[in-house]
Structure 1
Amino acid sequence: MDTRDTTVSPRQRIVEAAVELLESGGPEAVSTRAVAAAAGMQAPAIYRLFGDKEGLLEAVAEHGYAEFLAGKRAQLDPAPQNAVEDLRHGWDLVVEFGITRPALFAVMDRATGRGADAAHRAGLEILHGRIRRLAAGGWLRVSEELAAQIIQATGRGAVSTYNSTPPDRRDPELLTALREAMVGAVTRAEPALPVTETGPASAARALRAALSDGAGTLSPAERHLLGEWLNRLAADGGAPHA
């Protein structure tokens, strides 16, 4: 007797079957024939709904991002008291997901560069929100864009290194060390004063972060011009230009 939930769409059944095969048997287990059989459908349905196997893997990645984002939002503090600790918490969530669900994380990571879906973009917005809070508090030591790149690169690197290490040689201290290296690269030991000995870069970053959620007294053209000035100051500390 077929006990599958008939309220689930064929597309969702196929994606869930692919995820289950991926996590139980690795990438080699995710053939179109095996996925179709696990979903109780014919193989042509996969091609009709996803185009090809790569399209199916893209949908698996979207499913993974949506699942991760749901868990992340459940643990999200909308107004954290400590922006640096919030950064640590967010990094830990990503890494924990990556080491507990390595096969799915690998597919998600592989898909990151191609047509990011809504869940992935929403996750990035949470990351950039954390970075803006760091900037507004004077904690950020690099540009917001570079901070995002460092945070993402160290998270992916931590997951990749940990998962590729033989289980009997894995040391959780590696993850802690990489996280703290990331925090040290992105943030200051103490929040910067509005103007530092190297110029007004920290003040520009803080003001840019504060204005990112809106500045009603400025016109769009004024905000654009101010943004250009703040970006230049934040990038080079306000060194004079010829």
Structure 2
Amino acid sequence: MADKPYHHGNLRAALLTAAEAELTEAGVEGFSLRSVARRAGVSHAAPKHHFGDTAGLLTALAAEGFRAFVAAQTAREAQAGDGAAEKLMASGLGYVDFACARPALFRLIFTSRRIDESSDELVDAGSAAYMHLANGVMAMGGREGDIAAFWATAHGLAELMMSGRLAQIADLPEGERDAALGTILRRAMP
């Protein structure tokens, strides 16, 4: 049986999509380039050729994860009022939305030791995510400590929601859930 060719359409996007599916199913410990290639329907050499090694692919996936993370916050902000407080609240809700919708990717970007933290792409994407949050806090007149307080609160809520520790909030209808999370986030706002 001949190997599958690795050239098709947008290989990078196909590999990153397959990589997230593999990460979600197998976790970072069970993650393998061969499984990603199989999921993407390409030769086993394609991921290595494109990303170098497992760390290279996970790093690229983490950078994409940070961009998707900001997009989730921005999508929530687009539905909010025009005020800085409304935008920041929406950003915090988008933070939690992303974590609950894509927990494996959320954990990869924030806790994995299998990514190359010196990668320019990852540093740029992570910095943009931090600045998005920081700018929202600063728009309300906040300072560095306020950024840390809001970040810690949003991140803590995301972790608690993902782990099922806030079932009393998670099980509420969406509007009530957002209001309950918003009450907590508001306490950390400048």
Per the normalisation by structure 1, the TM-score is 0.59
| AA of the residue aligned to 1:183 | R
8 Å Cα contact 1:69/1:119 also seen in 2: no
| AA of the residue aligned to 2:97 | E
The aligned runs of 1:29-178 (5 Å cut-off) are: 30-77=31-78, 81-110=82-111, 114-115=117-118, 116-135=122-141, 140=142, 144-165=143-164, 170-172=167-169
8 Å Cα contact 1:150/1:182 also seen in 2: no
- CA shift at 1:107, angstroms? 0.9
**Compared with structure 1, are the counterparts of its residues 159 and 76 closer, same or farther at alpha carbon in structure 2 (3 Å cutoff)?**
closer
| AA of the residue aligned to 2:159 | S
Q: Name the counterpart of 1:6.
A: 8
| AA of the residue aligned to 2:100 | I
| AA of the residue aligned to 1:153 | A
- RMSD in angstroms over aligned alpha carbons? 3.4
Deviation per residue, 1:117-140 (Å, 9 max, x gap): 4333333222222122111xxxx4
**Compared with structure 1, are the counterparts of its residues 60 and 114 closer, same or farther at alpha carbon in structure 2 (3 Å cutoff)?**
same
| AA of the residue aligned to 1:130 | G
Please state whether the residue corresponding to 1:42 is helix, strand or coil: coil
CA distance in 2, matches of 1:55, 1:114: 11
Please state whether the residue corresponding to 1:61 is helix, strand or coil: helix
- CA shift at 1:25, angstroms? 4.8
**Compared with structure 1, are the counterparts of its residues 149 and 114 closer, same or farther at alpha carbon in structure 2 (3 Å cutoff)?**
farther
When you count helix as a share of all residues, which structure comes out higher? 2
8 Å Cα contact 2:33/2:47 also seen in 1: yes
Identity of aligned residues (%): 27
| AA of the residue aligned to 2:42 | M
Query: Which structure has the larger Rg?
Result: 1
Please state whether the residue corresponding to 1:171 is helix, strand or coil: helix
**Higher RCO, 1 or 2 (CA under 8 Å, sep at least 6)?**
2
**Compared with structure 1, are the counterparts of its residues 13 and 81 closer, same or farther at alpha carbon in structure 2 (3 Å cutoff)?**
closer
**Compared with structure 1, are the counterparts of its residues 126 and 157 closer, same or farther at alpha carbon in structure 2 (3 Å cutoff)?**
same
Unaligned segments of structure 1, at least 5 residues: 188-242
Q: Name the counterpart of 2:174.
A: none
Unaligned segments of structure 2, at least 5 residues: 171-176
Per the normalisation by structure 2, the TM-score is 0.72
